[in-house]
Amino acid sequence: MEQLTPKEIVAELDKYIVGQDKAKKAVAVALRNRYRRSKLPEDLRQEITPKNILMQGPTGVGKTEIARRLAKLVRAPFVKVEATKYTEVGYVGRDVESMIRDLVETAVHIVKEEKFEQVKNQANDIANKKICDIMYAKSKLVKSEEPENYKEVLLQEIKDGKYDEEIIEMELVEAPKSIEIMGASPDANLTEMFSGFLPKRKKMRKLKVKTARKNIVQEESNKLIDMDTVNEEGILRAEQEGIIFIDEIDKIAIANGKGNGPDVSREGVQRDILPFVEGCTVSTKYGTIRTDFILFIAAGAFHIAKVEDLIPELQGRFPIRVELNNLTKDDFLKILTQPKNAITKQHTELLKVDNINLKFENDALEEIARIAELENESNENIGARRLYTILEALLEEISFEASGNHPMTDVVITKEFVMRVLAPTIKQYDLSKYII
């Protein structure tokens, strides 16, 4: 994180997300402020809390993608939740606390992966030696005599992958069966709680050497790392670096003033979310976590309800407001060509597997972008997701016919091809201008 300035963070986001500069700047500054805060004296650090962000804009314009890419960029614990999944206490629904528990779970998983990477070579050496012992013992049963250095040679060949497809028989620890108790919290992992008391069962299995190596590496890695340290670091990582993205927050806003029935539940959800955004302590199976320094990013289309329809206390906890723009034809054209993971590049690589070299002419891409803009205007505005629908329809026949049983074949997508395949859609828009 300390190597990335706000401008560099925006530059990284630009590789995957078109436009929405205001939103990118807001999250880049919020992320950099975390690093700045970490360099302050402890007493001052405790006084500075993150400035939570509220994104307003239609679906498919990049709200979720900005938050997700931001978390990947710095490998921060990230959880996306839909506000509509939660209901007020007393109603049927998920407990709001579960989003904090999910964040801790993600953080612990990240730390565990990092620790595994540190002991990977050591665990791999142990695994190769165990496999060597099994294969050497088997060879002694078949042959009475072996060359003096046979075991060393065998070990090197195992390391080189020469025997990866060979079948060996070895004893493995069975995964514990899931334990469920009626009335217990769904977030409580009872299997882990009782694993220390239950004896570990082992079973003889026949499997390939490369599969056996993976199993042994996993088993030995668990022995080499201290899970108490992993849990502590996971809690700390979630507290100081965690990002929670609350989507569809407009769905729990109360439009047209206060009312009865569902409106009561919506307001209740807001009041249940509020303590976690303000800062409180939550108990998890890994220990207690403070939510004061978690960065919350909320998002919603706000077509019917307005931001002002959220309860004032919750509004005040999201001081940074960013409005994302509707996507235009030019935006769609950039989305089709510029991002590293552009959808046209994805389809091109997929069809190469079946010996189809797919190429898009510029005027074809412009026509696709034009149709996407018109369809979003005439129907439900689903943003960039519209391009997925259009390209699937456009390439359906090519994808169906491709088999790979032929030499590499060039297939060029022209404007005429786009207009012919998508003729029903184009005709619909041509007629719509005559309807009053």
CA-wise closest residue to 73 among 15, 26, 112? 15
Q: Looking at residue 45, what is its pLDDT?
A: 85
pTM for the whole structure: 0.77
CA distance linking residue 383 with residue 380, whole number of Å: 9
Burial of 49 (0-12, 13-18, 19+ CB in 10 A): middle
Q: Looking at residue 365, what is its pLDDT?
A: 94
Give the torsion sign (CA, 115, 120, 121, 122). Answer: positive
6-105+235-323 CATH pick, 3.40.50.1860, 3.40.50.300, 3.40.50.620, 3.40.50.720: 3.40.50.300
Q: Looking at residue 177, what is its pLDDT?
A: 59
How far lies 100's CA from each of 96, 292, 335, in Å?
8, 12, 34
CB distance 64 to 80 below 8 Å = yes
CA atoms within 13 A on the CB side of 27: 33
CB distance 35 to 1 below 8 Å = yes
Q: Looking at residue 435, what is its pLDDT?
A: 45
Please, what is the end-to-end C-alpha distance for the chain in angstroms?
Answer: 55
Architecture of domain 329-428 in CATH?
Orthogonal Bundle (1.10)
Q: Looking at residue 366, what is its pLDDT?
A: 93
Could you give the angle at the alpha carbon of 199 between the alpha carbons of 220 and 211, nearest 5°? Answer: 35
Per-residue pLDDT of the chain (436 residues; tens, 9 = 90+): 557 888 998 998 988 888 888 989 988 888 888 888 888 898 888 888 888 999 998 888 888 888 888 888 878 899 998 888 776 555 445 678 889 999 999 999 999 999 999 999 999 999 999 888 888 887 765 565 666 778 888 888 888 888 888 888 887 776 665 555 555 554 455 555 555 555 667 778 888 888 889 988 988 898 899 999 999 999 999 998 899 999 888 888 876 555 444 555 788 888 888 999 998 999 999 999 999 999 999 998 888 888 888 899 999 999 999 988 888 899 999 999 888 889 999 999 999 999 999 999 999 999 999 999 888 888 878 888 889 889 999 999 999 988 878 888 899 999 999 999 988 766 565 544 444 4
| Extents of the domains making up the chain | 6-105+235-323, 106-232, 329-428
